[in-house]
Chain A
Amino acid sequence: MNFDMSPYGAYIWPAYGISALALAGLTSWSWIRWRRAKAKLAALEQRK
């Protein structure tokens, strides 16, 4: 694999960095919301 981006590293790395951060953030946010909703519903069903 070739990681030498010269002379365009200043454009390529931020493009990859921002994409990775955004997609990882989106995945984590969706997963956390799912876990919270599942836990909340379980707690409510137990209280029934």
Chain B
Amino acid sequence: MNWLFRYANPHEFMRLSGAVLPFTAVATVLCLVLALYLGFTAPPDYQQGRTVLILFIHVPAATSAMMVYGAIAVCSLLSLVWRHPLSDTAARAAAPLGVIFTVLGLVTGSLWGRPMWGTYWAWDPRLTSFLLLLFLYFGYMALWNAIEDETKAARAAAVLALVGAVNIPIIKFSVNWWNTLHQGESIVTGDLAPVFLAPLLLMMAGYVLLFVTLWMVRIRTAILERRATVLMQRGAQ
């Protein structure tokens, strides 16, 4: 674990993230542009027609939303076990990103559901558990803002994040465990034609890289804001 603590040091994190950021930013743009090009040149699906284009933005948003929550849960665990303040900063910085990905997963899924299922929304296990993810994000952020003492807020938010992590496998396996309107797994099973798989995987890579880039920017911002607060407190004394 020594390597982790080395980079979890705010000073080391600023140095390392400053060096990595330009590369992740460029890689994000390249992946997104190439995915859009391949997506818009892909033929219509024999069943879904051109609505298959929504696949290329719905799946990346939904998987990113779950991945971000997973990242928050891991940081929360690190914070609770090793009490490292940067873990709390990282977890808190990721939450608004997770909210946006979750909302995009819900909105794009709804816009895909209307022409394919005949409805924007159904109280189906996959959709409902995914909506619960949005409420978990809101709860997590609300808890941070509700408790004034930052150490106590971090502790409470970390516990909530870990309890809520139970929802991630429920979302993932809901299509296997229950009868649902939502289609099952098609990437791992190899059911997706390569002409659709390539733009989808590239877009997923683009979304993950975008998250990594923005997460680093937001952690860096939080570190600078903390330094500014310390300076202001010293100035006031």
Please tell me the number of chain B residues within 8 Å of chain A, measured between CB atoms: 35
Contact A30-B108, Cβ < 8 Å, known A1-B41, A3-B40, A5-B50: no
Chain A proximity of B216: nearest CB distance (Å): 10
Binds A, one of B74-82, B134-142, B179-187, B225-233: B225-233
The 9 A-B residue pairs with the shortest CB-CB distance, nearest first, are: A37-B224, A1-B40, A15-B111, A44-B231, A15-B108, A11-B111, A34-B221, A41-B228, A37-B221
In the complex, what residues of B have CB within 8 A of residue A33's CB?
A: 218, 221
Which residues from A are CB-within-8-Å of B37? 1
B232 in contact with A44 (CB, 8 Å): yes
Residues of B within 8 A of A22 (CB): 100, 103-104
A11-48 to B contact mask, C-beta < 8 Å, 1/0 = 11011101100110011001101100110110011011
Cross-chain contact B112 with A19 (CB below 8 angstroms): no
A-B contacts besides A5-B50, A16-B53, A19-B61, 18 pairs, CB < 8 Å: A1-B37, A2-B40, A7-B49, A8-B49, A11-B51, A12-B50, A15-B53, A18-B108, A19-B108, A26-B97, A26-B100, A30-B221, A34-B224, A37-B228, A41-B231, A44-B228, A44-B232, A48-B231
B residues whose Cβ falls under 8 Å from a Cβ of A: 37, 40-41, 49-51, 53-54, 57-58, 61, 96-97, 100, 103-104, 107-108, 111-112, 114-115, 210, 214, 217-218, 220-221, 224-225, 227-228, 231-232, 235
Chain A contact residues, CB within 8 Å of chain B: 1-8, 11-12, 14-16, 18-19, 22-23, 26-27, 30-31, 33-34, 37-38, 40-41, 44-45, 47-48
Contacts of A48 in B (CB 8 A): 231
Q: Is the CB of A41 within 8 A of B214?
A: no
Q: How far is the CB of A24 from chain B (nearest CB, A)?
A: 11
Nearest CB of chain A from residue B121's CB, rounded to whole Å:
14
Residues in A with CB closer than 8 Å to B103 are 22
Q: Is the CB of A31 within 8 A of B217?
A: yes
Q: Is the CB of B50 within 8 A of A8?
A: yes
Are B107 and A18 neighbours in the complex by a CB distance under 8 Å?
A: yes
